């Protein structure tokens, strides 16, 4: 049954210790996902998710595969209970785009978890070689933020929602831009707890390495179109998906545009898969009338009436 829904997938920063444990304990399909991830990566990713140290879990090389595994574990359990629910489209925030591609049949989970671990390692290495920062700018006009970025050398990393723009780049550039945004009347400027200047030109060398690694990853046609973070357009073609994932590393994530596209295509209901409710919060700013159903814990699946 295809209804007027879209599936959304969580991005980096939504991790927390304990995530996925009740899914693992309650659903064989979820347990299989975590067990596969542990075996493929050669580490106890599940233990890191369920009972690890927060400082270890938040490291890019750990948080990215951990969020991917938790997200797909939730998705796998949902699909068993609701096998006939087929969305019109899928989308994921940055890292979440990989989860969306797995759910859309473009990537296998096995290749997806290998790919995201390598992506995280590449990004982490680039962060050491080219140190950077990110900051969220709240309630300041986009054109004003663009003007400040031009002046300071910072770059726009995420266009998340009205009143929420993330800037990125060299540490000194982001620091200067943050100061100018505050002076220009931003409600708040919050430095993000990330290890580098993601989605900025600092990540271009990393994108070259990712492109090389992607050559050994099979990407198939998406069964359900996925919105690209890079283009904010629907995509299902393997070659274009591959190319967009490379561009995504150093380009702006156009999340607000992506959601507005889905709404314009008739989507009225969204299912958010993965830890946290970040995407539900952004939706309140983008399209308050849209219904968002969070699929994160055992109760979310058992109590869901579709």
Give catalytic residues, as residue numbers.
94, 199
- With tokens 């060299």, the residue in question is 170
Cα–Cα distance, 254 to 263 (Å, whole number): 15
Half-sphere exposure of 108 (CA within 13 A, CB side): 8
Token pair listed for 66: 């951990």
Residue 256 C-beta-side C-alpha neighbours within 13 Å? 16
CB burial of residue 54 (10 Å; 0-12, 13-18, 19+): exposed
d(CA 224, CA 241): 13
The span from the CA of 162 to the CA of 197, in Å, is 22
> Cα separation of 300 and 261, whole Å?
27
**Is residue 282 a contact partner of residue 160, using CB atoms and an 8 Å limit?**
yes
DSSP string, 54-68: HHHHTSHHHHHHHHH
Of 166, 142, 139, residue with least CA distance to 155: 166
Report the alpha-carbon distance of residue 123 to residue 133 in Å, rounded. 13
Question: Which regions of 83-230 does DSSP assign to beta strands (E)?
Answer: 89-92, 132-138, 155-161, 164-170, 188-191, 226-227
Is the CB of residue 167 less than 8 Å from the CB of residue 176? no
């Amino acid at each position: 049954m295809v209804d007027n829904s879209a599936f959304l997938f969580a991005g980096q920063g939504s991790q927390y210790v304990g995530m996925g444990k009740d899914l693992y304990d309650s659903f064989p399909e979820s347990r299989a996902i975590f067990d596969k991830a542990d075996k493929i990566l050669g580490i106890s990713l599940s233990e890191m998710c369920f009972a690890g140290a927060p400082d270890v879990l938040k490291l890019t090389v750990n948080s990215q595969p951990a969020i991917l595994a938790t997200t797909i574990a939730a998705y796998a359990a949902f699909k068993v209970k609701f096998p006939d629910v087929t969305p019109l489209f899928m989308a994921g925030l940055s890292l979440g785009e990989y989860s969306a591609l797995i759910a859309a049949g473009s990537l296998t989970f096995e290749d997806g978890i290998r790919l995201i671990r390598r992506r995280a390692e590449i990004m982490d290495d680039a962060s050491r070689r080219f140190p950077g920062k990110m900051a969220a700018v709240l309630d300041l006009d986009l054109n004003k933020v663009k003007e400040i970025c031009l002046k300071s050398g910072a770059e726009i990393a995420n266009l998340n929602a009205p009143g929420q723009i993330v800037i990125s780049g060299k540490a000194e550039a982001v620091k200067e831009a943050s100061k100018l945004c505050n002076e220009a009347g931003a409600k708040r400027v919050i430095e993000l707890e990330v290890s580098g200047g993601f989605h900025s030109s600092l990540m271009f060398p990393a994108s070259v390495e990712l492109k090389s690694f992607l050559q050994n990853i099979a990407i198939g046609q998406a069964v359900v179109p996925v919105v690209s973070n890079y283009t904010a357009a629907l995509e299902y073609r393997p070659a274009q998906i591959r190319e967009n994932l490379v561009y995504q590393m150093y380009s702006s994530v156009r999340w607000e545009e992506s959601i507005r596209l889905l709404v314009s295509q008739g989507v009225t209901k969204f299912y958010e898969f993965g830890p946290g409710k970040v995407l539900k919060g952004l939706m309140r700013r983008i399209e308050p009338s849209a219904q968002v159903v969070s699929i994160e814990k055992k109760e979310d699946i058992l109590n869901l009436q579709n």
